[in-house]
Amino acid sequence: MEKNKIETGLSSDAKKEPRRVVFVTKKASAKVVGEPGPQLMTYPHLLIREAIAFQVLVIAMVLVALLWDAPLEQLANPLLTPNPAKAPWYFLGLQELLHFFPPFVAGILIPTLVVIALVVIPYFNVNVEGEAIWSRPAQNLRIVLVTVFLLLAFLAVFHAWTIFLPTALVAALLLFSYTARAGENGLLQALARKPVSWWVMTWFIAVALCLTVVGTFFRGPGWSWVWPWRTHVG
């Protein structure tokens, strides 16, 4: 058996065996974007603000919890469906969507596509500089008009008015910003400088909001259309 050539043993010479405390590699170090600016100690400056935020939040919630009771309907009865049978508010948008499209599309396909779209956002580094949507007016206007027209036509065919309305509103805002893009600085000019990703997300939020609001307030028994002021009369 060969003699082991590696020496082992304890060494008391600190210089000969320096201890590595931190090893910073290129990819692991933090990449700071922008000016760091003046800094403050976390303790106490951040922690006190978090503590205040927590207390404000808790006090507000305690007050509401003391005054308004959570609902509790009758015991679950598998033989009787209440009318209307509504999901919690964050799913009412989905339930409204179910009214227009088959369960697979509204319940599986669209939510999956939305999640995939969300996850992919940071990797879709197409427009890193945040180039404005109207930076190339002629080409972009044509693309925008065609996309909007196709989308609205598709929604109209499926009678999906709850999605049609916010889409039309956002599209109108977008086109107004086009006409006003060269004017003096105001809201429309600021909007004209926003990139495509901003407009797509804004459209998504507008549609989700509209679906949720309609599902919450404007749908009654049998998912029929009701005017909210009429349902609370009497």
Partner 1 sequence: MATSFQSVLQNLRETKVWKSIFRRGPANTNRTRSLAVFGNLFLHWLPVKVREKSLRVRASYYLGSISFLLFIVLFVTGILLMFYYHPATPHAYRDMKDLRFVVSNGVFLRNLHRLAAHLMVFAVFWHMFHVFYRGGYKPPHEFNWVIGVVLLLITLFLSYTGYLLPWDQLAFWAVTVGTNIISAMPFVGDKIRFLLLGGNIVGENALLRFYVLHVVILPLVAFLLIGIHFWRVQKDGGLTVKPKDDDGKE
Partner 2 sequence: MSDAKNPYISQASRSAQAGDGITRRDFLNEITLGALGIAGLGSVAVTYQYFSPNVLFEPSTTFRAGNPDLYPVHSVTFLQDQLVYIVRMPEGFYAVSAVCTHLGCVTQWKPDADMIACPCHGSKFKGDGTKIEGPAPRPLPHFSISLTADGELLVDKLQNIKPAQVLKV
* Interacting positions 80-139 with partner 2 (CB under 8 A): 80-85, 98-100, 102-103
Residue 35 is a binding residue for partner 1 (CB under 8 A): yes
CB 214 within 8 A of CB 94: no
* Residues in 154-193 at the binding interface with partner 1, rule: CB under 8 A: 190
81 lines the binding site for partner 1 (CB under 8 A): yes
For 132, residues 6+ apart whose C-beta sits below 8 A from its C-beta are 192, 193, 194, 195
Q: Which of 157, 131, 204 is nearest to 149 (CA)?
A: 157
Nearer to partner 2, 102 or 130 (CB): 102
Query: By CB under 8 A, is residue 98 in contact with partner 1?
Result: yes
Q: Between residues 98 and 207, which has the closer beta carbon with respect to partner 2?
A: 98
The token pair at 136 is 């190339």
At residue 83, φ and ψ (nearest 5 deg) are: -130, 105
Rounded alpha-carbon distances, angstroms, from residue 2 to 5, 6, 7, 131: 8, 12, 14, 68
Q: How far is the CB of 71 from partner 1 (least distance, A)?
A: 7
Q: Please, which residue, 111 or 130, has the CB nearer to partner 2?
A: 111
Please tell me whether residue 119 binds partner 1 under the rule CB under 8 A.
yes
Least CB distance from residue 9 to partner 1, whole Å?
33
61 makes contact with partner 1 (CB under 8 A)? yes
Q: Which is nearer to partner 2, 108 or 117 (CB)?
A: 108
CA distance 19 to 185: 59
Q: How far is the CB of 95 from partner 2 (least distance, A)?
A: 8
Beta bridge partners of 219: 225
* Number of chain residues interacting with partner 2 (CB under 8 A): 17
Rounded CA gap, 204 and 195, in Å?
A: 15
Q: Which two tokens stand for residue 77?
A: 């009865």
Residue 225, strand partner residues: 219
Tell me: does residue 43 bind partner 1 (CB under 8 A).
yes
- Contact assessment for residue 219 and residue 83, using Cβ atoms and an 8 Å cutoff: no
CB of 187 to partner 1, least distance (A): 12
Q: Out of 18, 34, 186, 234, which residue is the one contacting partner 1 (CB under 8 A)? A: 34
Candidates 3, 12, 13, 104; binder of partner 1 (CB under 8 A) is: 104
> Which H or E element spans position 23?
none
Q: Which residues bind partner 2 (CB under 8 A)?
A: 78-85, 98-100, 102-103, 221-224
